[in-house]
Amino acid sequence: MTYETKPPMDAVDPVAQARALRALHVPGRPLVLPNAWDPVSARLVVAAGALAVATTSAGIAWELGLPDGERLDRDRALDAVARIAAAVDVPVTADIEAGYADDTPDIDATIRIVLAAGAVGVNIEDALYGDPAQDAATPLRPVGDQADRLRVARGAADAQGVPLFVNARVDTYWKSVGDPATRLARTLERAAAYLAAGADGIFVPGVRDPEVIRALADGVDGPLNILAGPGLPTVPELAALGVARVSLGSGLARAAHSFVRSAAQEALTSGTYEALTRAIPYDEANTLLPHP
């Protein structure tokens, strides 16, 4: 198997890549994104057939020795995104958590760095992190405040002339916000406000019920992104429900770490190495990244 390398940054047309990413969001024919956390995982994902690469903030944080949840500073997070974008020849969309900016105007700087890193899409979430007690009481940013942040992101990208795909994450289900009976309505209210503020798509992680997914796809006036994994509808089933984008989130990173744990436990307990029979051959692994 061969692994293609993206041309030098100055040879890449970000506008064309952004348009290509946007065109991949088709309800009923979803863009499937097995999220990557480093250049090697990104190249493996593309070699498997991915048409775009999405990063996982959790995977990047773990790779850099930190827990997930806005613990990374902007420079380290987006440096990782830049290395991923440089390693592949498909559009890259970056998980930038809440935007790596305490103050709304600072979202502008984040987006400019994202574009300089070579990404042409972002996820921006409305969950709040910090004091666990406060987060439990107020787990999400107020709708108006989050809409303002998305509006700044849209303006920053437009000022650079790049049609950045802004995927607004709504964490009502992820954070189990409010009464389950009103959660769908709350989600649709947020989605409408975020789209009006300039978001291009809506990401609702934590939803498992096919009927709720269908209601979201019908009620959101834009491409719907669902977080998938074991126990959720398959990609064809999600397509039939009207989903336009399917993400695996931190799933691949966690699966990779699970393999490390099981292979290490086998060697340290039984003294055998059977798990390693599933490892990528050394020669192939050594060609995953170009030699200088």
Q: HEC profile for 167-202?
A: EEECCCCCCCCCCHHHHHHHHHHHHHHHHHCCCCEE
Strand partners, 201: 167
Which residue bears the tokens 């055998």? 272
Question: Looking at residue 98, what is its pLDDT?
Answer: 96
Question: Looking at residue 290, what is its pLDDT?
Answer: 75
Tokens of 279: 């490892």
What gap in Å lies between CA 167 and CA 182, rounded to an integer? Answer: 23
Is residue 42 exposed (0-12), middle (13-18) or buried (19+ Cβ within 10 Å)?
buried
Compute, in degrees rounded to 10, the torsion defined by CA atoms 262, 263, 266, 269. -90
Tokens of 4: 């293609």
CA terminus-to-terminus distance, the chain? 20
What gap in Å lies between CA 62 and CA 8, rounded to an integer? Answer: 28
pLDDT, averaged in runs of 10, over the chain (292 residues):
53 92 98 98 97 98 94 95 97 97 96 98 92 64 97 98 98 95 97 98 98 98 98 98 98 98 98 96 89 64
What gap in Å lies between CA 274 and CA 266, rounded to an integer? Answer: 8
Compute, in degrees rounded to 10, the torsion defined by CA atoms 92, 279, 281, 277. -160
What gap in Å lies between CA 156 and CA 228, rounded to an integer? Answer: 30
Which residue bears the tokens 């390398």? 5
Question: Looking at residue 121, what is its pLDDT?
Answer: 98
Question: Looking at residue 12, what is its pLDDT?
Answer: 77
Contact 1, 281 (CB under 8 A): no
Contact 187, 172 (CB under 8 A): yes
What gap in Å lies between CA 172 and CA 181, rounded to an integer? Answer: 12
Question: Looking at residue 133, what is its pLDDT?
Answer: 52
What gap in Å lies between CA 139 and CA 129, rounded to an integer? Answer: 8
Q: Which residues have a Cβ under 8 Å from the Cβ of 204 and sit 6 or more positions away?
A: 169, 170, 172, 173, 187, 191, 216, 224, 225, 226, 227
Contact 266, 272 (CB under 8 A): yes
Which residue bears the tokens 């290395």? 83
What gap in Å lies between CA 225 and CA 200, rounded to an integer? Answer: 11
Which residue bears the tokens 């995977």? 59
Q: Which of 117, 118, 126, 122 is nearest to 146 (CA)?
A: 126
CA–CA distances in Å: residue 235 to residues 32, 37, 92, 210, 241? 8, 22, 21, 12, 10
